[in-house]
Structure 1
Amino acid sequence: MKFAARFHRMTACLAGAIALSACSLMEDSDTAALDIPESAAGEINQATMVDITRELSLDEFQGRMPGTIGEEKTVALLTERFEAAGLQPGNDGSWVQNVPLVEITGKDFAPLTIAGGETEIALNYGPDWVGVTYREDAETSLEASELVFVGYGINAPERDWNDYEGIDMTGKTAVILVNDPDFGTESLEGPFGGKAMTYYGRWTYKYEEAAKQGAAGAIIVHDTAPASYGWNVVESSWSGPQAYAQRGENAPPLTIMNGWVQKEAAEQIFAASGKDLAELSALAKTDGFEAVPLGLTASTSFANDIRTFESQNVIGILPGAERPDEYVIHTAHWDHLGICTAAPDGDNICNGAVDNATGTAALVALAEAHAKAGAPARSLVFLAVTAEESGLLGAHYYAQNPVFPLAQTVGGINMDAFLIAGESKDVTVVGPGKSQLDAFLEAALELDGRVSTPNPNPEAGYYYRSDHFAFAKRGVPMLYVDGGEDLIEGGREAGAAVAADYRENKYHGPKDEFDENWDWSGVMGDLQLFYRLGRMLATSTSWPNWNEGDEFRGTRDEDCEAAGAGCGA
């Protein structure tokens, strides 16, 4: 989990951006036919949570960076604890799925040169623009590629929207706005979900679609509000080593270069074209927008250091007693940042105790509880994925190469960083109203006597930023639920204070360390909720789907139809 996201959600709630009372999560009223069985509470061992979180946070694990001794120790520990919990190896007799990765580190960046106007513009790498290549090439060169403004860079037939209609992008560079055309609206109504960002607003989608269109390059115009983060985040995230999943046969096309430009730099580019960025940005929000050639070219070059290695996802399964070929999945990422920038005291190991030793430990604790209760009707899968911090790579690799067919995967629950904050009255739901899984969540919350708080700033698109998204993108309904914000002791103000302390002093730094004095009561309450959810889904006969109109509904329907025997057919 990117904890800054959670902090912003908390503070937004505190400010009153969203009503704080319990809400109905469901937008799709067609849930009456769902089979939602009740679930008794599970016997979840707090000692398991404490012991595994403590061990994964030790300095000898070196921050659990993929491809290091820290990975070896983590995989060995999880294999041992999954087996002791009563699981079986999840990958055809093996506890692991190998994940081939490539690390590409750009260097010797030339300026991004914009030519064709009255004067040439030279943008400096770092302060003005950043760029990477996904190609495993020692040298990257974008030469005099024609710039085309493609609005939000969206091709969504189901929404009757195509920013690329009527233009051949072969060899050209797409200039793209961040977020989607509904950004700035106050309601949840609109062709792209109103203020709630869709996947079409994410940079990952924009680069993928530009490549599909044959573009040589794709450049996103950074703007802090619609991006939900500043240029400092872009510059730090897109410089230095970048890890990617190695490409196999029949892989989708790639651009030569993907990058970002500062908004001020983009304004210079548009002015050199005789156009106004603000005016064209407003036009890009309208139905029928057509791409605008800028009459300029972009050029740059850089070298790349390339390293290939294998990491591992760890997979355990509790086979179902009645329908073992139907699967409910639990995910959490085991990796963290390894050796990092030192704290003032010289500590330079990012131990990642909260992020995400807690979530990794939760996989084992839940596995123990389910095994002790006995196998439910459906199989329960426990998947600890690698390289989340590098871009959800382990999750994406599994979803592209599933051990268990996605059309036979009922749905799932992702666990990413349990903040140690004490018991709460609520949970925070990221991406409410997307699928019929919300009905299962409401039933589980009622049994636990808790309520839900919706994501207070859905325009930031947090649903698309953790491991569950890799499955959602390929059609599998997934829940993303954070810990509560309304603490029993101290309310929302206390919750925001805990979040602020973690964000400012510990998040992605050497001080995210295990503390023997932690109060685990809130974590254990959240685990009880996740246990009920998993048990409900694993004993149900229903196949919850995405709500009608959701961007993942079409993928799920097509996958189920193609599979024939999948999705309960």
Structure 2
Amino acid sequence: MLPRLFALPLAVGALASLAACNFAQSGNEAGNEAVAANEALPDVTVPDLSLDTMKTLVGELSSDEFEGRMPGTVGEEKTMALLTREFAGAGLKPGNNGQWFQDVPLVEITAKNVSPLEFTGGKTDMSLDYGSDFVAATYRVTDKISVADSDVVFVGYGINAPEKKWNDYAGLDVKGKTVIILVNDPDWETKGNDGEFNGRAMTYYGRWTYKYEEAARQGAAAAIIVHDTEPAAYGWNVVESSWTGPQNVADATNNHMDATAANGWIQLAKAKQLFASAGQDFDKLRAAAKKPGFKAVPLGVKASLSFDNTIKKTLSKNVIGILPGKTRPNEYVLYTAHWDHLGHCGADATGDDICNGAIDNATGAAALVALAKAHVAQGPAERTIVFIALTAEESGLLGSEYYAENPVFPLGQTVGGVNMDALSAAGPAKDLVVIGRGKSGLDRYLEKAAKLNNRVLVDESTPEKGYYYRSDHFSFAKQGVPMLYFEAGEDLIKGGVAAGKKAAEDYTENRYHAPSDEVTDDWNWDGMMADLKVYFAVGRMLAMTDAWPNWNKGDEFRKARDESRPTS
């Protein structure tokens, strides 16, 4: 699981309930209240899964012919043809009332004629170059964006958290102004997970998506986040490749005109120059922003930025296939993975401008087919197993959010499931890393599946990176559906933790959201296939039991689940 970019703002009500929550990674301390400790989980047989299927489909989906699988392009058309062919060939049935597709209305916004980001009124006027110094885009569905002579205010971490008595906007009117914001939470450098904002573990307040949402609620004209690699969890190359070129937002009746006119990022070095020009010390203000009671600081400079937009409305698609249950077909277990990627992106040194997305997430899409074949070969389970290839994850989990808000199968009848995003090609590992461990009764299923496959479970080592909010399981969780999300471990059988960390860092720094995310001869498929066995076991157990795992008591998603399924 890896950094995700350019997400659409959540609805205010959903945000309020999420932002008030603490997402502590608590291991198993909370227990799995919803599934009794002495309740036997079903035994399952884990078959060999098709390596040929994985190799063939990952290779095809990430080939240049698919042009990076950007929604609304020829790459989507080719992907839809491949997935429906493969789902049907695996023996699945069309999942949406006899159809393979669920339409997802999107708007593609492509910025052009982007002006420099100019700051005037300081000791030295500054003109920042688009792409190398800053990036910006808009959620507003409009032909023209212009921010002219907008007063600039540093608002620290840009957090308004009444339950924590923390408000970086207290006593401040930023209507029409440009706010400069720090990424992550104020206590992200804490060693442990104890702190105002969960210490090292990021809360939703730390996500840049939240910061843009709050800036919009405050009436800001523009919101610019200072990029810093460690708290952001990715380098500037990722920001640049993800924020330039076409961007998708969900279609909306108000055209998102309540959003800020421009959202963006600025390089750390340029931010420091800006503050110095304004007669301020960036490092001192950053330190002050970590403490309760911080007061926003007007910089006494003005910002200007403009760009045109090309608007294209389209119906992208989620692909849904099912293996109907034999005794309880109206109870549903989910496998999800996103099929999309970035399409054409910034060219590398060779001129290659196709972000192929082999790891992210041709592997997950191919895994849906490989798992479908294995489940069909074993025969129908008691419950219906649903395989959903989701669109527009890279645009902000838009496909999963649309499904979760417009479910084909009632959420109260959806048992839970697992999400697959960016399977590892580094080789087999002894462990599995669980994102959000200790949150629900699904942990017991994963524990048994891991033991069955001689794997050990570990908590994520970098909770400050906020991975919990960066893949499609989050959309279902918000609606109360218990979902597991785990990824390949770092303790490789060959080379141990050092080799695992080296492989992960190499991918993040050199391949993630870049044209080099392609299948190469040095891929080790053994670890990926071992992980698929765990995915199979978890899904099969859920489909064979009559239990209804819930979120643990006190979990932020428990209320939504209890409302959708009062008897669980």
Give the TM-score category using the shorter length.
Answer: 0.7 to 0.9
In structure 2, C-alpha distance between the alignment counterparts of 1:378 and 1:568, rounded to whole Å: 18
Residue aligned with 1:380, SS = strand
User: What does residue range 398-417 of structure 1 map to in structure 2 within 5 Å?
Assistant: 398-417=403-422
Contact 1:107–1:303 (CA under 8 A) maintained in structure 2: yes
In structure 1, C-alpha distance between the alignment counterparts of 2:428 and 2:348, rounded to whole Å: 30
Contact 1:112–1:124 (CA under 8 A) maintained in structure 2: yes
Greater mean deviation of Cα atoms: 378-387 or 245-254: 245-254
State the Cα distance separating 1:500 from its structure 2 match.
6.5
- AA aligned opposite 2:31: S
Contact 1:543–1:568 (CA under 8 A) maintained in structure 2: no
2:542 matches 1:542 = no
Greater mean deviation of Cα atoms: 43-52 or 221-230: 43-52
Residue aligned with 1:441, SS = helix
State the Cα distance separating 1:206 from its structure 2 match.
0.9
Instruction: Return the match for 1:246 from 251, 257, 266.
Output: 251
- AA aligned opposite 1:178: V
Greater mean deviation of Cα atoms: 116-125 or 78-87: 116-125
Contact 1:349–1:510 (CA under 8 A) maintained in structure 2: yes
2:452 matches 1:447 = yes
Greater mean deviation of Cα atoms: 152-161 or 355-364: 152-161
Change over 3 Å in CA distance of 1:559–1:455 after alignment to 2: closer
State the Cα distance separating 1:112 from its structure 2 match.
3.0
Contact 1:433–1:547 (CA under 8 A) maintained in structure 2: no
Instruction: Return the match for 1:71 from 55, 71, 76.
Output: 76
Structure 2, unaligned stretches of length 5 or more? Answer: 6-24
Instruction: Return the match for 2:485 from 480, 502, 506.
Output: 480
Q: Deviations over 1:159-191 (max 9, x none)?
A: 443333444443333322110021111011112
2:178 matches 1:173 = yes
Q: Deviations over 1:225-255 (max 9, x none)?
A: 2222333433333223323232246968311
Q: Deviations over 1:113-144 (max 9, x none)?
A: 44555665544434443221111222111133
Residue aligned with 2:549, SS = coil
Contact 2:3–2:467 (CA under 8 A) maintained in structure 1: no
In structure 1, C-alpha distance between the alignment counterparts of 2:385 and 2:160, rounded to whole Å: 36
2:261 matches 1:256 = yes
State the Cα distance separating 1:461 from its structure 2 match.
1.9
Which residue number corresponds to residue 14 of structure 1? none
Residue aligned with 2:321, SS = strand
Which residue number corresponds to residue 279 of structure 1? 284
- AA aligned opposite 2:472: D
Change over 3 Å in CA distance of 1:520–1:254 after alignment to 2: same
Which residue number corresponds to residue 529 of structure 1? 534
Contact 1:197–1:460 (CA under 8 A) maintained in structure 2: yes
State the Cα distance separating 1:490 from its structure 2 match.
3.9
Contact 1:26–1:439 (CA under 8 A) maintained in structure 2: no
Which residue number corresponds to residue 379 of structure 1? 384
Greater mean deviation of Cα atoms: 309-318 or 507-516: 507-516
Which residue number corresponds to residue 15 of structure 2? none
Contact 1:44–1:368 (CA under 8 A) maintained in structure 2: no
Change over 3 Å in CA distance of 1:176–1:344 after alignment to 2: closer
Residue aligned with 1:327, SS = strand
Change over 3 Å in CA distance of 1:25–1:322 after alignment to 2: farther
2:34 matches 1:28 = no
In structure 2, C-alpha distance between the alignment counterparts of 1:333 and 1:270, rounded to whole Å: 40
Instruction: Return the match for 1:332 from 337, 346, 351.
Output: 337
TM-score under structure 1 length normalisation:
0.83
- AA aligned opposite 1:33: A
Which residue number corresponds to residue 317 of structure 2? 312
Change over 3 Å in CA distance of 1:274–1:355 after alignment to 2: closer
Change over 3 Å in CA distance of 1:140–1:86 after alignment to 2: same
Which residue number corresponds to residue 8 of structure 1? none
2:43 matches 1:42 = no
Change over 3 Å in CA distance of 1:90–1:246 after alignment to 2: same
Q: Percent identity?
A: 57
- AA aligned opposite 2:42: E
In structure 1, C-alpha distance between the alignment counterparts of 2:129 and 2:356, rounded to whole Å: 34
- AA aligned opposite 1:544: N
Change over 3 Å in CA distance of 1:122–1:506 after alignment to 2: closer
Residue aligned with 1:180, SS = coil
In structure 2, C-alpha distance between the alignment counterparts of 1:490 and 1:176, rounded to whole Å: 40
Contact 2:235–2:509 (CA under 8 A) maintained in structure 1: no
State the Cα distance separating 1:526 from its structure 2 match.
1.0
Which residue number corresponds to residue 185 of structure 1? 190
Which residue number corresponds to residue 203 of structure 2? 198
Instruction: Return the match for 2:88 from 75, 83, 103.
Output: 83
Instruction: Return the match for 1:228 from 227, 230, 233.
Output: 233
Residue aligned with 1:64, SS = coil
Residue aligned with 2:407, SS = coil
State the Cα distance separating 1:157 from its structure 2 match.
4.1
Residue aligned with 1:466, SS = coil
Q: RMSD between aligned alpha carbons?
A: 3.5
In structure 2, C-alpha distance between the alignment counterparts of 1:531 and 1:544, rounded to whole Å: 20
Residue aligned with 1:398, SS = helix
Contact 1:334–1:360 (CA under 8 A) maintained in structure 2: yes
Contact 1:4–1:503 (CA under 8 A) maintained in structure 2: no
In structure 2, C-alpha distance between the alignment counterparts of 1:514 and 1:181, rounded to whole Å: 39
Which residue number corresponds to residue 467 of structure 1? 472
State the Cα distance separating 1:530 from its structure 2 match.
0.8
- AA aligned opposite 1:83: A
